[in-house]
Each structure stands twice: as structure tokens, then as C-alpha cells.
Amino acid sequence: MLLSLETATVRFGGRAVLDGVGLAVAEQEIVCVLGPSGSGKSTLLRAVAGLQPLDAGRVLLDGRDQAAVPVHRREVGLMFQDHQLFPQRDVAGNVGFGLRMHGTAKDERAARVAELLDLVGLPGAGGRSVAALSGGEQQRVALARALAPRPRLLMLDEPLGQLDRTLRERLVVELRELFGRLGTTVLAVTHDQGEAFALADRVVVMRDGRIAQSGTPLEVWQRPADAFVARFLGFENVVEASVDGRVAITPWGKVPVAEGAAEGVRTLLVRPAGVRLLPAGEGLRCTVAARAFKGTHVAVHLQPADAPRLEAACALRSAPEVGDEVGVELDPADVVLLD
Amino acid sequence: MALPVAFFAVFFAYPVAAIVRRGLRIDGAWRFGRFADVLGDAGIRHVLWFTTWQALASTALTLLIALPGAYVLARLEFPGRQVLRAVVTVPFVLPTVVVGTAFLALLGHGGLLDQLWGVRLDTTVWAILLAHVFFNYAVVVRTVGGLWAQLDPRQEEAARMLGASPLTAWRTVTLPALAPAVAAAALMVFLFTFTSFGVVQILGGPTFSTLEVEIYRQTSEIFDLSTAAVLTLVQFAAVGAILAVHAWTVRRREGALKLVDAALTARRPRGAGQWTLLAGVLATIAVLLLLPLAVLVQRSLTAPGFGYYRALTDPDGGVFPVAPISAVGTSLSYAAAATAIAVVIGSLAAAALTRRDAGRLVRGFDALLMLPLGVSAVTVGFGFLIALDKPPLDLRQSWILVPLAQALVGVPFVVRTMLPVLRAVDARLREAAAVLGASPWRVWREVDLPMVRRALLVAAGFAFAVSLGEFGATVFIARPDNPTLPVAVARLLSRPGDLNYGQAMALSTILMVVCAVALLLLERLRTADRSGEL
């Protein structure tokens, strides 16, 4: 393993911001830590970089304990949330900074800076002032600066946080392609699930300083570990249900579940695609409370008489209007038992 | 941290304590009864009363005249704005002696107004008040205008959208945001005018005397040390109280204000109102700030063929054992030494105050650093003489004595200039450098130094100008054969005769030019700063 954290713990005034975190990142793997603000994900990066001392546990790089290694000798790269470009240096001065610190010869440095600026799509920008760059360009310069000294591990803190949506979606594809080509090992943190799923080989969901779930984007998306993860991923149809044999009893009615499911009170998720609309009078009787256009579909909020609201994903043409009466049935294929 | 503390203990606290002890401990016993005697004296009570009310009147007048200027220089865009901003700052660092002399040339006997209309103001309190406005105009423009330029105009626009008239929007949004800055500026002006020495010494005549002037009179003319000691303590208490209130208002000002880049808020003047305001402010600056200086220069040139300037080079003028012009060299070398001391001590103090783990004690030191600005310079000067005369600290014969005293006044300016810049360096910028492989020393050199370098130069410039103009302490400890410029000017002014008067004007002009050049260099550094990199 290139990077391993063993029961890494950081406390701020008695509160554990990182609470016994164990995490391993393999060579050339792209791992994305996903969590709401305050979940401890930035602290995780700072601990690996050596900017935040651990109160307990260990950080290992290539199997070696880093406790005694100061920040500037760890050979990891960190791209800060708001880039932190050096304002008094031009673009080339920023990108070449790490090389200069490592004593790289001038010619070699210039060549490497030019190569990196090409790589991030800013050829010939070396002489520009960083104050004159747009948000997207700053982002690219920050990336080039972090990559320049060829760090063993590249860490990204909310790499695309401040950019507008179209730019973000384009850059995330570019980044994944770039890291794949360079074979870079990446540990990124973000609060944006779309970003995490698009970028990562593996997603790690954090909550209150602990790891709530770890898996491939598909695994996490299909089987959220618990109600917190499900809600954080944007799923609203999460309720308690009691499982009895092959049937789960939910406030929305009975739903068949897979054989062998543990019995008793469980948390159950119904994906919006699995909420099927029927003509009024059939199935669970609901009123349409609200609808939101989502581009590819319409999210329809349905209010049953005496049960929590249900969100349904409807095709654009067949979506009912607010106030309509409809019937609802749940597709067992989109019903997931959590925890 | 240890060095600044030791510096202040030895060269500030110890001399002041020594002089108080000398004054109040007679025959081995403390005579606190002297307080009642001194404060009961009608003459002293009159001085106290005058000191207070002239300071209040000066402060009110300065605010009244300078607040429109603060607005115009902060919010209106017009050609020459940068230069004007530098120009209004010149008076603040001008030596008080020069200010006094300039107003004497304008308002005094045979002055410009006297010649034109037969009006003389030098026997009235107006001369003092106007000189104080002249001196402190920049304090208001810098403190209030600096904030005003950074207030987000969208706040006022939001109020307008909610139905407020322009005046109501200003009154309910802008004024409350500015109030703490106005209060802080007013307190600084009050502090400076309350402890005013050179200006009152020259313009006050026998009628008007502030505490500081009275302390000087008691020590150097009447030799009544115990009265001087009591007055020093009274002034100390007053200044302490003013600084405490000031620290409190500044802390409040650091609250949640929404600030934007000053470059974004300035607009070209629009409408008759704004043009009138601009014209009014320009006229005020011309009459109140530029005219006195112009008259000063003109007076120094009234003798044919630069006669007064040539007289300065005559070693047998009679007033000093050396040619008066040698004071220029003396002043420059003293000021250079004082600047070096002030920059080292001030930077160390500022660096210590910036450290994130700085505790309450250190932050208290922050306020203490301002004390030398307000504590009687006369006391410090005299204290130096009587306290630093015994081994191991026998400095009476040493040239370093004058720069040490001048550095005391320079340090607060260095700290004030460096602190905001050091505090503004984002800690994560240092972290970014460290992650890229920079060792801690390298981080300081690559990240902190480039950012602080300009501030350091600016601070050095301020310390230099302030040291150059320092009068109250220097007048005691500068040796007669080696006077500094302000001391020489005062000495020349105290002698009768046109030649002496003319030479005083000529020396003042030289002093003013040296100060102005230092300051204009500063302003260039500052604007270069703003346009590009910080």
C-alpha cells in the first residue's frame, strides 16, 4: 500500500475530528473521500501532509511511519481548496516552486514547467500574473504546481469546489483521464457526490470523523451502508420497515424482499425510479404535492394520506400535475435494505 | 519578544520611573501630598483646563474639516487623487516645530495675513487649533477614508432597494459601519492634541500652555521637579485612559464588516453636489495644508540671493558653536540610527504579536507599545538624562542617546504598519510552500519576506520621518554643539532678529523637503503595492 492510515485520531478541544480512521490507498488508485462539511475530510488530508499532528494512530507512506518526517520531506502534493497560489510570483514561478525547493537545475525546471503547462492546457502562460487568471485557470496552475515535483501521492482538497457547473463537469473528466495517463496516486476530498463518483476508483464516505462506507462508486450508489449515507447521496425515500420472511412492512405498504434478509426492524430505501405511478384508485393513494424538473426526468413529490412523502422519478411527458390524485406501487428491484 | 520588552523596560519605563521618583521622593520619603498642592494651584488648574478644551475643540474641528476630505479621497475618482493622498499625509510627519513656524509665518506678526489685511491670529487660540487641524487632517483621512474606501457599496444599494432614500441609506448603513473608525480617529487626534508640545510652544506664547509645555517649563525653566513629576503622572493616567478606549473601539471595528477592494468603490463625481464637495475639499486642502507650507518657503527666500540659506553655512552665526547647516547631517544620521533601532525592535514585537499562540499578556503588550506616543516626550528626554548616567548604563556622553529616544516614538509606527500585513499572510500559503518541499526557513524567505518587505520599507520610512521631527525628548538630550534640525529651528526662533527668523524658516524648509521626499518615496511603494501584488 502506498498510503495507510491506522486508527488516525485528531482532537480539537476534546472533540474528535478524526476518530480512529483506517484507510489504505494503493499505487495508482484514485480515492475520493466524500462527506458533508465538518466531517473531518480536510483534516484527513492535512494529517497525511504532516500539517496536522495526530493525537493517536499512524500515517504510513510506502510502509514507513511518517511521525518524525516534517512536511517538506514527505514528498506528497496537496492542492488547496482555494489554490493558495503565491501572489507575488507569476505562473511559471508558481509551477516551478517545488522544483526549485528540490534543487532542480534551471534548464530542467523550465522544461518541466513548460511540459506541465501544456499538460493542464495553458501552454505559454508562464509569464502571466496569477492575479489575472480566471478561476478555472488558477485551478489548472494549482494542479500543475502540485504535480511538478512528481509527488508520490497527490491530494486534492475540494479540487473543483469554486468553479461553475459546466466547467466542473468538463474538468472532472479531464482530471480522471490525466491521472490515468500519468499513473498518479490520488486522494481527493469533496462534498459533491457527482464529483466523487466521476473521479474516483473508490469512494470513502465520512461522517463525524469516522468512515461510514467505502467501496466503488457503483457499490456505494447501489447499496448505501446506512440511512446517513443514503440521505447524503440525495435519496429521500428512507424509512424504517419491519422485515418478516420475504416481506418488509413499510408505511407505504408491503414490499417483497430478497430471501435470507435479516428479520426485524431495518432501514429501507426505495430509489425514486422504483416508485411507479398507477391510475388513481389502484395501489397506494397519493396526492402530488410538488414537482421539480430535472432535465432528464421530473422529480414528483407524492403525499400519501398517513405516511411520509415519496419521491418518484417520472418520464417528462407522463408526469402528473400538482394536485393530481395518483396511485403508487413500489418496484422490488429498486428497494434496498440498508444496515 | 524578550528584546522589545527589555528595550521598553530600560529606555522607557526606567527613565520615566526615575524622574517620578526624583520628583516625589524627597529626603527618603514619598510625598504624595504634592498631588494636592499641585492640583490645587490655580495656574496648574488653568493649564489642565486649557489642555482639555483645546484638545476637544481641535478634535471637533479636525473631524468637521477632514471628514468630507476622507469621503472625497476614498470614494471619488479624479486625476491626481494618489498624489493628493500623499500630499495630505506630509503634514502629519512634519516636525511640530515646522508646523508651528509655518503658522507663525502665516498668521503671526508680519505674517501673510498681517501684511494683507492686518489680521493677526498668533495671540489667539485659533492659531493653535488650525495648526492642530493641519497636523491631524491625515489621521482622519487615513483612518476613516481607508475603511470608507473598502465598504461594500452594495450594502447601501441593498438599503436603497428596500426603499431608503440616499440620505437614509447613508445614515442607516454607512454611518454605523464608519462610526468605530471615526471614534478611533477622533481618539488619536485627541491624544496627539492633548499632548501637543512643539506647536503650542511656538504658537502659544505666554498665554496658552498645555500639560506637556508646562512639564517642560517646570523642568527646564523653574526646576520644580516635583510639580513636573505630578503633571507627568496626570498626563500618564489621561493617556492610558485614552489608549484603553482606543483599543476598545479598534477591537469593535474588527467586527464583521463586509470589505471589498478599494479600487472597486471609487466613482467619478456625478451631479452638482459631488462636484461642489470635491471643489470644497480641494480648496480646503489648498488653503489649510498647502498655503502654510508655501508661506514658509516664501519667507525663507525673502533675503536676496538665498541669503538665509547662505547664512546657515556660516560657522560664526553666534547661536551655535557650529554652522546651522550641520544640523542637517546630524539629524539624518541620528534618524538613520533611530530607524534601524525602531525597525528591529518593532519587527520583533510585531512578529511576536502575530504568533497564533500569543496569549492575553502579549496582546496587552500591543496596547503598551502605543504608550510612548502619548507619554510626555519631555519626561522621557529628561528621564534619560537623570536615569542613564550611572554605570553600567552611562550613556550621557554617547551619541546613541538621541537615536534611542527617537526610536521610542518610531516603534509604535513600525508595529502599526507591520501588524496588519503579517496578520494578513494566509497561514495556508506557508503550508502550500512547505508541502512543495520548502523548509521552515525557506518558507519564511519565500513567502513571508516578499510580502513584508514593502511594509518594512514603509515602516522604516515612517520611523525615519518621525525621528527626524522628534522634538520634545531631543531638546533635552541633544548636545548644544550637535543640534538636530527641529532643535536648531526652535533655538533660532527664540532669538530676536530678522536673520535668525529667516534662518529658522530656511532650516524648516529643508526639514520639510527631507520629510516630504521620504514620504513621497513611501507613497510610491504603497501604490506599487496596491496595483500589483498584494
The tens digit of pLDDT for each residue in A196-241 reads 999 999 999 999 999 999 999 999 998 999 999 999 998 989 999 9
What are the pLDDT digits (tens) for B56-78? Answer: 999 999 999 988 888 888 888 88
Q: Which domains does chain B have, with CATH numbers?
A: 1-30+311-379+386-534 (1.10.3720.10), 33-301 (1.10.3720.10)
Q: Nearest CA of chain A to the CA of B161: how many Å?
A: 28
List alpha helices for B316-389, DSSP H: 326-354, 360-368, 371-374, 377-387
Using DSSP's 3-state secondary structure scheme, residue A249 falls into strand
Name the helix (H) or strand (E) containing B30: strand B29-30
C-alpha cell at A320: 402528473
pLDDT at B407 over 60: yes
Asked if the model's pLDDT at residue B256 lies above 60, the reply is no
Q: Identify which of A42-56, B410-424, B476-490 has the greatest average pLDDT.
A: A42-56
- pLDDT value at position B358? 54
Tell whether the model's pLDDT for residue B318 goes beyond 60.
yes
Of A139-153, B3-17, B334-348, minimum mean pLDDT range = B3-17
* Interface contact flag, B437 A72, Cβ < 8 Å: yes
β pairing state of A186-190 and A30-34: parallel
Q: Which residues, including other chains, have CB under 8 Å from residue A48's CB and lie 6 or more apart?
A: A3, A5, A59, A76, A153, A155, A187
ipTM of the complex: 0.80
CB B231 within 8 A of CB B211: yes
CA distance B7 to B345: 8
pLDDT at B532: 31
Q: Residues B18, B22, B24, CA angle at the centre, nearest 5°? A: 115
The residue-averaged pLDDT of A187-192 equals 92
CB contact under 8 A, A51 and B434: yes
Q: Which residues pair with A330 in a beta bridge?
A: A275
Sheet containing strand A15-25, edge to edge, reads A15-25, A3-12, A56-61, A64-65
Cβ burial of B402 (10 Å; 0-12, 13-18, 19+) is buried
Tell me: pLDDT of B258 over 70: no
Residue A84 has a pLDDT of 85
pLDDT at B220 over 90: no
Q: Is the pLDDT of residue B261 over 70?
A: no
Name which of A253-257, B51-55, B444-448, B475-479 the model is least confident about.
B475-479
Question: Between chains, do A71 and B434 touch, taking CB under 8 Å as contact?
Answer: yes
Q: Quickly state the pLDDT bin for B531 (edges 50, 70, 90).
A: very low
Cell digits of residue B415? 508595529
Residue B389, beta-bridge partner list: B394
Report DSSP letters for B39-97, one per residue.
HH-HHHHHHHHHHHHHHHHHHHHHHHHHHHHHHHHHHB--TTHHHHHHHHHHHHHS-HH
Q: Is residue B252 very low, low, confident or very high in pLDDT (cuts 50, 70, 90)? A: low
**pTM exceeds 0.80 for this model:** no
Distance separating alpha carbons of residues A57 and A19, to the nearest angstrom = 10
- C-alpha grid cell for residue B281? 475639499
Question: Which residues 78-107 of A are in CB contact (within 8 Å) with B?
Answer: 78, 80, 82, 84, 86-88, 97-98, 101-102
Cβ of B432 and A72 within 8 Å?
no
- How confident is the model over A277-324, as pLDDT tens digits? 998 888 889 999 999 988 888 999 999 988 899 999 998 888 898 999
| CA-CA-CA-CA torsion sign (B201, B202, B206, B210) | negative
Q: If you compute the radius of gyration of chain A from its CA atoms, what whole number of angstroms results?
A: 24
Q: Residues with Cβ < 8 Å from B409, sequence gap 6 or more?
A: B372, B373, B377, B466, B467, B470, B473
pLDDT at B103: 82
Q: What is the pLDDT of residue A43?
A: 92
User: What local confidence, expressed as pLDDT, does residue B534 receive?
Assistant: 27
Amino acid found at B146: G
> What average pLDDT does this structure show over B358-381?
68
- List CB contacts (< 8 A) between A101 and chain B: 433, 436-438, 442
Min Cα–Cα distance to chain A from B442, Å: 8
Least confident of B14-28, B247-261, B343-357, B398-412: B247-261
- Please state the φ and ψ torsions of residue B263, each to the nearest 5 degrees: -65, -20
Q: State the Cα–Cα distance between residues A199 and A178, nearest whole angstrom.
A: 11
Q: Answer whether B142's CB lies under 8 Å from B87's CB.
A: no
The minimum CA-CA distance between A267 and chain B, rounded to whole Å, is: 42
Specify the higher pLDDT residue, A245 or A3. Answer: A3
**Mean pLDDT, range B346-364, rounded to an integer:** 68
> Which segment of A193-207, B272-286, B309-323, B477-491 scores lowest on mean pLDDT?
B309-323
Q: Which three cell numbers, joined as nine digits, stand for B189?
A: 487626534
Higher-scoring residue by pLDDT: B259, A322: A322
At residue B386, what are phi and psi to the nearest 5 degrees? -90, -20
**DSSP class of B438:** -
Looking at residue B530, its pLDDT comes to 43
Q: Give the three cell numbers for residue B521.
A: 518615496
A153-167, B109-123, B224-238, B465-479: which has the highest mean pLDDT?
A153-167
- At B533, the pLDDT band (50, 70, 90 cuts) reads very low
Q: What's the rounded mean pLDDT across residues B286-304?
A: 80
- The helix-helix angle for B96-107 and B485-494 (nearest 10°) equals 40
Among B356, B435, B447, B530, pick the best mutation site for testing chain A contact (most A Cβ within 10 A).
B435
Integer Cα distance of A120 and A113 in angstroms: 11
Pick from B187, B203, B248: which is nearest to B60 by CA? B187
DSSP structural state of residue A1: -
| A72-128 per-position pLDDT tens digit | 888 899 998 888 888 888 999 999 999 988 888 999 999 999 999 998 889 988 999
- Which residue shows C-alpha cell 462534498? A191
Give the best residue of A12, A97, A157 to mutate against chain B (max B CB count within 10 A).
Answer: A97
Three-class secondary structure of residue B229 per DSSP: helix
Cα atoms in the Cβ-side hemisphere of radius 13 Å centred on A302: 30
Whether B321 has a pLDDT exceeding 70, the answer reads no
- Averaged pLDDT, A257-275: 87
**Any CB–CB contact under 8 A between A12 and chain B?**
no
Which residue matches cell numbers 522544483? Answer: A99
pLDDT digits (tens, 9 = 90+) for B439-469: 888 887 888 778 777 778 777 877 888 888 7
A149: cell is: 515535483
Residue of chain B nearest A149, judged by CA positions: B436
B529: closest chain A residue by CA? A88
Q: What does the pLDDT look like over A23-43, one tens digit per residue?
A: 999 999 999 999 998 889 999
- Residue B114 one-letter amino acid: D
Q: Residue range B156-161: average pLDDT?
A: 76
Chain B interface residues facing chain A, Cβ-Cβ under 8 Å? Answer: 426, 428-429, 431-440, 442, 446-447, 450-451, 532-534
Q: Is the pLDDT of residue A186 over 90?
A: yes
Q: What is the mean pLDDT of residues B117-130?
A: 76
Q: Which pLDDT band, with edges at 50, 70 and 90, does B528 fall under? A: low
pLDDT at A267 over 80: yes
- The whole-number pLDDT of residue A230 equals 93
Cell output for A333: 428491484
- The shortest CB-CB distance from B437 to any of A82, A86, A149 is to A149
DSSP notation for A141-154 = HHHHHHHTT--SEE
Average pLDDT, rounded, for chain B: 77
Mean pLDDT of B176-188: 81
